């Protein structure tokens, strides 16, 4: 072998070694699961793309399912060592996921509880465990606001949305229409505990009448009170009086009546913005929830969170932590607001002049400052009790105060049974 040949081979070997070292490590692949909703899928596609550009050694695969199948799929996959490494879940399901060993707490060296307490809106603290660690965090949060039909307001000669509960009743009366037989053809405001009204009643009306719906960190029902009865009287009088301004079940669903232009006002969550924006011919605006006695304001906030599952181990766990950091960043929250219409989970993003002053997003964002998050033991069962409370009044003629007491007793049993076993 000549010196020249040896030199050439050595150079080639060095070049090959350098090229090998310059290549990124073999990609780690993690799975992300969420329920299917067009805007959410679009937003997450965008976030995954941004994350992978910054982390070329990590590949994120997203899977989504119809909402009705979602919880069942998650519960079956993770114990089998399959499915997501990072999963999206409704905040009200957290206790169930922890009890079923489906998720693991977030590492404190990356997700410092004190820093999260300082940087996020207070309602996310419901994601803390008894040891003070966080189990999950949201990219976005939701609150309630009053949607109103601008065309119907103009037609009725109403200048703007109501600012107080008293004005709400007056405005709803002006927007209500009936046919010759006295049947409602247009409601002043929608109603129905199956939608968002059970949240408005609990965390909004009960508090605005001076009460507190629950005590002992939501383990004790407290709305069977003067404030709770006053709040229920206000609500049921919307449809249970001689001149009602609404009807339970009008056009089947409250949001359907508003989208069809048959309801003047509708209380709903910020997640409704996207579907209303796509409703052709509907001209609408948004206002903060009307204030109560002495200007008292209260709102309800909910959210979907992301968590690291117990399936994630080793290098997949490390990748999942990095992904969680990114999708709870300020950058990700602004993307979610722009694409999905759900509110940033941090004041640093939500309370900017541009976002808080936005005519559509602004009322929801400002409502976060006085919002409360109900800690549910069983969200669907607790909601059903509110539905039945109204049905007893409307269909059986039960006294509202009695029906309220029945609901409170039944809900307390749900809470007692849950906390006794957890």
Domain range annotation of the chain: 28-142+302-368, 143-301+373-421
153 to 158, 160, 184, 202, 208: CA distances (angstroms): 5, 7, 17, 28, 26
277 pLDDT tier (thresholds 50, 70, 90): confident
Please state which architecture CATH assigns to domain 143-301+373-421: 3-Layer(aba) Sandwich (3.40)
Residue 10 has pLDDT above 60, yes or no: no
Cα 328 to Cα 164: distance, rounded to the nearest angstrom: 35
Residue 233 has pLDDT above 70, yes or no: yes
Judge whether 28-142+302-368 and 143-301+373-421 match in fold. Answer: yes
386 pLDDT tier (thresholds 50, 70, 90): very high
3 pLDDT tier (thresholds 50, 70, 90): very low
Confidence (pTM): 0.82
341 pLDDT tier (thresholds 50, 70, 90): confident
CATH superfamily of 28-142+302-368: Periplasmic binding protein-like II (3.40.190.10)
Residue 155 has pLDDT above 90, yes or no: yes
Rounded to an integer, the average pLDDT of 172-181 is 96
Average pLDDT, the chain: 92
The fraction of the chain above a pLDDT of 70, given in percent, is 94
Q: What is the model's pLDDT at position 422? A: 72
Cα 15 to Cα 393: distance, rounded to the nearest angstrom: 82
CB-side exposure of 402: number of CA atoms within 13 Å? 8
Cα 195 to Cα 187: distance, rounded to the nearest angstrom: 16
Q: What is the model's pLDDT at position 342? A: 87
Tell me the two tokens of residue 335: 């993307």
Residue 11 has pLDDT above 60, yes or no: no
């Amino acid at each position: 072998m000549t010196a020249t040949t040896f030199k050439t081979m050595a150079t080639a070997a060095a070049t090959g070694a350098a090229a090998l070292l310059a290549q990124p490590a073999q990609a780690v692949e993690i799975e992300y699961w969420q329920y299917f909703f067009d805007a959410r899928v679009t937003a997450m596609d965008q976030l995954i793309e941004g994350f992978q550009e910054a982390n070329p050694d990590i590949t994120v695969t997203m899977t989504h399912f119809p909402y009705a199948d979602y919880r069942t799929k998650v519960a079956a996959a993770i114990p089998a060592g399959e499915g997501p490494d990072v999963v999206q879940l409704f905040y009200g399901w957290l206790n169930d996921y922890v009890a079923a060993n489906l998720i693991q707490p977030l590492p404190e060296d990356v997700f410092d509880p004190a820093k999260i307490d300082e940087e996020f809106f207070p309602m996310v603290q419901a994601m803390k465990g008894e040891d003070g660690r966080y189990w999950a965090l949201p990219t976005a949060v939701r609150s309630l606001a009053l949607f109103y039909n601008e065309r119907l307001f103009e037609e009725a000669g109403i200048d703007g949305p109501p600012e107080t509960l008293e004005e709400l009743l007056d405005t709803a009366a002006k927007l209500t229409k009936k046919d010759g037989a006295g049947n409602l053809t247009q409601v002043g405001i929608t109603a129905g505990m199956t939608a968002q009204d059970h949240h408005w009643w609990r965390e909004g009306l009960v508090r605005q009448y001076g009460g507190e719906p629950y005590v002992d960190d939501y383990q004790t029902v407290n709305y069977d009170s003067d404030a709770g009865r006053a709040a229920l009287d206000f609500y049921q009088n919307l449809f249970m009086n001689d001149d009602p301004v609404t009807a339970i079940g009008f056009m089947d669903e409250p949001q359907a009546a508003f989208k069809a232009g048959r309801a003047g006002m509708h209380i709903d969550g910020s997640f409704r913005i996207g579907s209303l924006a796509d409703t052709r011919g509907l001209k609408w605006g948004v206002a903060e929830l009307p204030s109560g006695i002495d200007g008292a304001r209260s709102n309800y906030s909910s959210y979907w969170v992301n968590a690291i599952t117990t399936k994630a181990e080793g290098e997949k766990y490390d990748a999942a932590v990095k992904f969680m950091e990114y999708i709870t960043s300020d950058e990700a929250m602004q993307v979610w607001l722009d694409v999905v219409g759900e509110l940033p989970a941090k004041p640093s993003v939500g309370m900017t002049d541009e976002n808080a002053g936005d005519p559509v997003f602004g009322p929801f964002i400002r409502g976060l400052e006085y919002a409360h998050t109900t800690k549910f033991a069983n969200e669907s069962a607790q909601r059903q009790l509110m539905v039945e409370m109204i049905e007893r009044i409307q269909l059986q003629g039960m006294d509202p105060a009695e029906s309220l007491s029945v609901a409170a007793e039944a809900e307390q049993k749900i809470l007692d049974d849950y906390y006794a076993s957890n």
